[in-house]
Structure 1
Amino acid sequence: MKSLREAFGRRTVVLWTCLSLLPIQVASADENLLQGVVVDAASGQRMAGANVQILGTVLATISDLQGEFIVARVPPGLHQIRISMIGYREHLVDVDLPHSGQIRVELVKAAISLNPVVVTADRRAIPLEESSTSVTVLGEAQISDRTNLRLDEALEMVPGVYFMEDDINIRGATGYRANTGNRVMLLLDGVPLITSDTGGISWDIIPLHEVERVEVVKGAGSALWGSGAIGGVVNVITRRPSQRGLLSVRSAAGMYDDPSESEWIWTGRTLHYERLDVGYSKAYGPTGIRIAASRYASTGDRQDGDFNKWTVSGKISRHFADASELEFYAAWLRDHSSVFLQWRSPFVPDSTDGSAASAPAQLFHPLLSQDQGNVLKVAWVNTYLKYSRSLSAQSHLRVRASLLRSMLGNQFDRGGEFSPAHGPGVEVQLDWLPRTNHFISAGVDGKVHRVEGRFFDGSHTEVALGAFVQDEWRIRHNLRLTAGLRFDQHDLDDQEAYRQASPRLGLNFRPTSSLSLRASAGRAFRVPTTAERSMSFKTGNFQVISSDHLDAERAWSYEAGARQTLGDNSYVDAAIFQNDYRDFVEPLVDLAQTASRIVVRFQNVNDARIRGVELATGTRLWRQRLHVDAGLTFLDSEDLQLKRPLAYRPRWTLQMNPSLHLGRVSSRLDYRYTSRIQQVSVFSGDQRVAQHELNARAQVQWVGLSFTAGVNNVLNYNYTQLERNLGDIRNFVIGVNGAF
Structure 2
Amino acid sequence: MVPRWLVALALSVGIARAQFGTIVGVVVEQSSGDPIVGATIRLGGLPHGAVSRRDGSFVLRRVPAGNLTVLVSAVGYHPTEQRITLGSGDTVRVRIGLRVESIASQAVVVSAARRVQSIQEVSTSVSLVDAEAIAERGLTRLDEVLRYVPGVVVTGSQVSIRGSSGFSYGLGSRVLLLLDNFPVLSADNGDMSFDALPIADVERIEIVKGAGSALYGTSALGGVINVLTREESPSPELRIRALGGLWTLPRFETWRYRSDPPRLGAFDASTSGAFGPLRLLAAGGYRSDESYRDYNDSRRWYSFGKVTYELSSAAQLRLVAQYAADNRANWLNWRSLAYATLPPLTTDTTDRIDSRKLLLGLEQRTIWSPALFTILRGSIFRTWYTNTVPPDSSGHVSADATQYNAELQASYQASDQLNVTSGANLLLNAVESPYTQGRRTQAITSVYAQAEYRIRENLVATLGGRLDNVSTEPTAGLQLSPKLGLTYRISERMSLRASIGRAFRAATVTERYAALRFAGFTVGINPALRSEVGWSAEVGVLHTAVLGGREWTFDAAAFVARMENLIEPQFVVDTTAEIRFVNITRALLPGIEITVRGWLWGETIGVESGATLMAPRDLVEHATLRFRHNVQWNTRLIVAPLPRVQLNVDYRFLSRVERIDERIVQLGLVPDGDARVPIHVLDLRLLWDVPVAVPLRLTFNVRNALDYYYAEYIGNLGPTRQVSLQAEWRLR
Read off the aligned partner of 2:309 and give its amino acid letter. Answer: R
1:61–1:70: 8 Å Cα contact kept in structure 2? Answer: no
Which one of 633, 639, 643 corresponds to residue 618 of structure 2? Answer: 639
Q: Does 1:50 align with 2:40?
A: yes
Q: Could you tell me how far 1:622 is from its partner in structure 2? A: 1.6
Q: 1:431 to 1:96 in 2, by over 3 A?
A: closer
TM-superposed deviation, 1:274: 0.5
Q: Which moved more, 1:437-446 or 1:513-522?
A: 513-522
Aligned to 1:148: 139
Residues 706, 589 of structure 1: alpha-carbon distance in 2 compared, 3 angstrom cutoff = farther
Residues of 2 paired with 1:238 and 1:539: CA distance?
A: 35
**2: CA distance between counterparts of 1:696 and 1:45?**
32
Q: Residue 516 of structure 1: CA displacement? A: 1.2
CA distance in 2, matches of 1:99, 1:666: 45
Residues 71 and 344 of structure 1: is their aligned pair in 2 closer, same or farther, counting only changes over 3 Å? same
2:61 counterpart letter in structure 1? A
**Map of 2:657 onto structure 1:** 677
Alignment RMSD (CA, Å): 2.3
2:709 is the alignment partner of 1:697:
no
Alignment of 1:410 with 2:387, yes or no, is: yes
Where 2:35 maps in the other structure, the secondary structure is coil
Matching residue's letter, 2:575:
Q
Alpha-carbon distance between aligned partners in 1 of 2:14 and 2:206, rounded to the nearest angstrom: 32
Query: What secondary structure sits across from 1:531 in the alignment?
Result: helix
Residue identity opposite 1:52 in structure 2:
R
Q: Give CA deviations for 1:360-414 in whole Å, capped at 9, x if unaligned.
A: 7321110267636642211110110000011122111110010000002117665
Contact 1:58–1:432 (CA<8 Å) still a contact in 2? no
Contact 1:273 1:297 in 2 (8 A): yes
Tell me the equivalent position of 2:3.
none
1:128 to 2:107 alignment: no
Match of 2:588 among 601, 604, 609: 609
Kindly provide the amino acid, as one letter, of the partner of residue 683 in structure 2: N
In structure 2, how many angstroms separate the alpha carbons of the residues matched to 1:502 and 1:425? Answer: 20
Match of 1:356 in 2: none
1:191 Cα offset (Å): 1.1
Q: What corresponds to 2:563 in structure 1?
A: 581
Residue 202 of structure 1: how far off its partner (Å): 0.8
Q: Distance in 2 between matches of 1:540 and 1:635?
A: 30
Bigger mean CA deviation after superposition, 431-440 or 657-666: 657-666
User: Structure 1 CA distance, aligned partners of 2:573 and 2:704?
Assistant: 35
Name the CA distance, whole Å, in 1 between partners of 2:665 and 2:383. 32
Change (3 A) 1:206 1:26: farther
- In the TM superposition, what is the alpha-carbon distance from 1:194 to its structure 2 partner? 0.6
SS of the residue aligned with 1:199? coil
| 2:665 partner amino acid | F
Question: What is the CA–CA distance in structure 2 between the aligned matches of 1:75 and 1:561, rounded to whole Å?
Answer: 33
Select 2:50's aligned residue among 50, 53, 62: 62
Distance (whole Å) between structure 1 residues aligned to residue 209 and residue 728 of structure 2: 32
Q: What is the CA–CA distance in structure 2 between the aligned matches of 1:30 and 1:520, rounded to whole Å?
A: 35
Distance change >3 Å, CA 730–CA 95, structure 1 → 2: same
Give the SS at the match of 1:729.
Answer: coil
Q: Secondary structure at the match of 2:624?
A: coil
* Residues 38-79 of structure 1 deviation map (CA, whole Å, 9 limit, x = unaligned): 2222341324242332x6x73631324544433222356x75
| Residue 332 (structure 1) shift | 0.7
Alpha-carbon distance in 2 for matches of 1:177, 1:412: 24
Alpha-carbon distance in structure 2 between the residues aligned to 1:41 and 1:127: 21
Name the amino acid aligned to 2:610.
G
Q: What secondary structure is seen at the aligned counterpart in 2 of 1:121?
A: coil
Alignment match, 1:510? 489
Hey, what does 1:251 align to over in structure 2? 242
Asked if 1:439 corresponds to 2:419, the answer is yes
Deviations 1:667-710 (A, max 9, x none): 11111111111111222773321111111100100121010111
1:711 to 702, 705, 709: 702
Residues in 2 aligned to 1:101 and 1:638: alpha-carbon distance in whole angstroms: 56
1:491-530 equivalent positions in 2, closer than 5 A: 491-492=471-472, 495-530=474-509
> Does structure 2 retain, via aligned residues, the 8 Å contact 1:426–1:447?
yes
Report the counterpart of residue 335 of structure 1 in structure 2.
326
Q: Match of 2:191?
A: 200
Cα 1:237–1:628 shift into 2, 3 Å: same
CA distance in 2, matches of 1:201, 1:95: 43
Q: CA deviation at 1:417?
A: 5.0
Counterpart of 2:601 in structure 1 is 622
Tell me: CA distance 1:414–1:605, structure 2 relative to 1, closer, same or farther (3 Å). Answer: farther
Whole-angstrom distance in 2 between the partners of 1:93 and 1:600: 59
The letter for the 1-side match of 2:657 is I
Match of 2:8 in 1: none
How far the C-alpha of 1:543 sits from its partner, in A, is 2.7
SS at match of 2:227: strand
Per the alignment, in what secondary structure is the counterpart of residue 603 of structure 1? strand
Aligned partner of 2:22 among 25, 33, 44: 33
The 1:690–1:412 alpha-carbon spacing in structure 2 relative to 1, beyond 3 Å, is farther
Contact 2:71 2:108 in 1 (8 A): no
- More off after superposition, 621-630 vs 100-109: 100-109
Residue ranges of structure 1 left out of the alignment (5+ in a row): 1-22, 346-359
Cα distance in structure 2, aligned partners of 1:414 and 1:544: 19
Q: Tell me what 1:83 maps to.
A: 71
Kept in 2: contact 1:667–1:697 (CA 8 A): yes
TM-score calculated relative to the size of structure 1: 0.90
Show the 5 A alignment for 1:126-525: 126-345=117-336, 361-367=338-344, 371=348, 374-410=351-387, 414=391, 417-492=397-472, 495-525=474-504
Instruction: Give, in angstroms, the shift of residue 230 of structure 1.
Output: 0.6
* Superposed displacement of residue 333, structure 1: 0.9
Identity of aligned residues (%): 30
What is the CA-CA distance between 1:329 and the residue it aligns to? 0.8
CA distance in 1: counterparts of 2:430 and 2:230, whole angstroms: 31
Q: State whether structure 2 residue 82 is matched by structure 1 residue 92.
A: yes
Report the more deviating stretch, 25-34 or 143-152.
Answer: 25-34
Q: Structure 1: how far apart are the matches of 2:173 and 2:118?
A: 28
Report which stretch shifted further, 675-684 or 425-434. Answer: 675-684
Q: Secondary structure at the match of 1:592?
A: coil
Report Cα offsets for 1:254-307 as digits up to 9, x if no partner: 111111212321212431111111111111111011111111111111111101
Of 63-72 and 616-625, the range deviating more from structure 2: 63-72
1:170, CA displacement in angstroms?
0.6
Instruction: State the Cα distance separating 1:544 from its structure 2 match.
Output: 2.3
Aligned counterparts of 1:256 and 1:112: Cα–Cα separation in 2: 29
Q: 1:31 offset after TM fit, Å?
A: 3.3
1:110-129 paired onto structure 2 within 5 Å: 113-129=104-120
Match of 1:20 in 2: none
